[in-house]
Amino acid sequence: MPKVMIVDDEEIERVSMQKILSESFEGLEIAEAKNGQMAIDLSRSFKPDLILMDIKMPGMNGLDAIKEIMMDFPAIKFVMVTAHDTFQFAREAIKLGVKDYLLKPSKISEIVVTVGKVIKEIEVEQERKENDIKNDLQFEKSRQVLETDMVTQLLFDHVHEVHVETLMEMLDIKSADEMFVMVILIPEGFENVYVPWVNQIKKLGSVWVGALHGRHFPLIVFRNNENSYRSQVTAIVKNGLKDNQNKQGREWYVGIGEIYKSLDQMKKSYHEALIAMMDITRAGTYRFYMDINTETNYGDTLLQKYKEEEFLEQVRLGEWENIKNRLVMLIKSYEKEEIPLEHTKQRIMELIWGIYHTLAEMGIDIQSGHYFLKEQSYQQLVEEIGMYIEEINHQYERRYNGNELDTIHQIKQYIKNHSSENISLEILGDRVGLSAIYISKLFKEKLNINYIDYLTRCRVDKAKENMLFPEKSIKEIAFEVGYHDPNYFSKVFKKQVGLSPKKYRDKILGFSVSSSE
């Protein structure tokens, strides 16, 4: 029930009014004030929804008190209580937005009707506000799922441009002219800070946050014209990471890719950010890809060439023999130029860390490769690299050739049974125990269809089945199959089927259903 304050300089009036309200409205919380100044002070602590304000009181009158209270609490509603039925009071009260007035003395029935009407209005507003909050929370939850899906598509899968544009339209997102990727590595054992950190960083705006893979997650950051590239990164690190870092006493590591002008190039910026983050032995918490020193020796030139040729994409495709040959060639080029072994280890580690994180995203858990740092000769390094790549190859093949057919069937069946729900790749991955990237790869390579296209097809097929029941409206069917916007559902349906939902139903039923749909 709403909270009500009674303001009157006569105690008997306050007591009588409180008795009438308490007996007439169960659960009403009531406070009293004997003058205008006390009403102002009490409003700050009690925070009433409705104030019954006497007009003629010693000191500050009721109208002046209403003015003061409304400056701080404009949502509070007022009913004027007065023994003076004058036009001047009424005109001033109307200007202040007073909801109604009661003349002293008033009948109990008049008080109950007048106050009851305002209380009903307050309750309707409160219910509407609660529903708005629930809707906002649900929208924000859906928005985060869609946003995570969009980052996954852009960084880990080649999706047709229309899908990203559709998601951006649903999220009411306007892309900036320039953007880049940051990759955050969380200290081991502190993965639980991902959610609060995301909530903190989202306050800065212009950032899409990807899902947590192992201990790291990506951000797509849109450039703003107010700050420089480095200033924008510093603000994100300062406002997001520093507080968590100080609490944990451990270093976070952040890699920042270069700026590009197209969302299609975010995959490249992501690979650059991964490489920039790979050196966890250096001081400091973040490093820009553009700041990585490139020496003049041939080995570093070759290393840079590997990066530019998207070495990590070969990892994703499982081209292990080619990867091993490239690493050995790189090691031998450093050895031939008599580069110090420690320098070579560091450069090789950049690529090893890239392999490790790429496979972690795909759900393949392997050793990170730290043991390479103990090798004492180039020959040992070559041998260990060969053994390391072979072990990765075995794990990769076991994952991809194990129970793949059963896995695909399980995924397809789950999507068909739950297509009306808000299923993201991450939710689906949690359900079947696989990474979002691995599932995306299965759809693309084994089913020759994009995940979103398959989900859309399942929803449209279910809509077709529902259209056999003429008592269901198109709007009802749209909601049942997972679309909250009937107009968007109609666009998707027509794109898939070639006919609008209504024309399709008319065709299969052989007659026109109600035009009220």
pLDDT above 70 as % of the chain: 79
Q: Which helix (H) or strand (E) holds 6?
A: strand 3-7
Q: Per residue in 257-294, pLDDT tens?
A: 999 988 888 888 987 887 777 655 554 568 888 876 55
**pLDDT number for residue 362:** 65
Q: Give whichever of 284-293, 335-344, 387-396, 486-495 has the largest mean pLDDT.
A: 486-495
Encoding tokens for residue 64?
Answer: 């002046």
Q: Per residue in 356-402, pLDDT tens?
A: 777 766 666 665 444 444 567 888 888 888 888 888 888 777 766 65
Rounded distance between C-alpha atoms, residue 425 and residue 413, angstroms: 15
Q: Which CATH class is domain 3-129?
A: alpha beta
CATH number, domain 404-509: 1.10.10.60
Sequence ranges of the domains in the chain:
3-129, 175-292, 294-401, 404-509
Residue 431 has pLDDT above 90, yes or no: no
Residue with the larger pLDDT of the pair 325 and 1: 325
Query: Rounded to the nearest 5°, which phi and psi values hold at 219?
Result: -125, 140
Beta-ladder partners of 7: 33, 53
Q: Per residue in 458-468, pLDDT tens?
A: 999 999 989 88
**pLDDT number for residue 207:** 85
- Neighbour tally for 183: CB within 10 Å: 28
Torsion angle of alpha carbons 17, 22, 28, 31, nearest 10°? 40
Q: Per residue in 3-51, pLDDT tens?
A: 999 999 999 999 999 999 999 998 899 999 999 999 999 999 999 999 9
Minimum mean pLDDT range among 48-62, 310-324, 463-477, 480-494:
310-324
Say if CB 364 and CB 396 are below 8 A apart. yes
Q: How many CA atoms lie within 13 A of 487 on its CB side?
A: 1
Query: Rounded to the nearest 5°, which phi and psi values hold at 402?
Result: -65, -100
Q: Find the distance separating the first CA and the last CA of the chain, reported in whole Å.
A: 39
* Residue range 326-344: mean pLDDT, rounded: 83
**pLDDT number for residue 375:** 61
Residue with the larger pLDDT of the pair 415 and 442: 415
Q: Which residue type sits at 21?
A: L
Angle, nearest 10°, between helix axes 108-156 and 266-277? Answer: 80
Minimum mean pLDDT range among 215-219, 424-428, 512-516:
512-516
Burial class of residue 215 in the structure, from the number of CB atoms within 10 Å of its CB (0-12 exposed, 13-18 middle, 19+ buried): middle
With CA atoms as reference, report the closest residue to 200 among 237, 253, 166.
Answer: 237
The maximal CA–CA distance of the chain, rounded, in angstroms, is 105
Minimum mean pLDDT range among 82-91, 138-147, 160-169, 307-316:
160-169
Say if CB 1 and CB 27 are below 8 A apart. yes
Order of strands across the sheet with 286-288?
207-209, 216-222, 179-185, 253-256, 286-288
Q: Per residue in 118-130, pLDDT tens?
A: 999 999 988 888 8
Beta-ladder partners of 32: 6
Q: Which CATH class is domain 175-292?
A: alpha beta
C-alpha distances (whole Å) from 462 to each of 377, 424, 458, 488 are 63, 19, 6, 16
**pLDDT number for residue 514:** 42
**Ordered DSSP codes for 317-336:** HT-HHHHHHHHHHHHHHHHH
Rounded distance between C-alpha atoms, residue 448 and residue 454, angstroms: 10
**Fold match flag (175-292 vs 404-509):** no
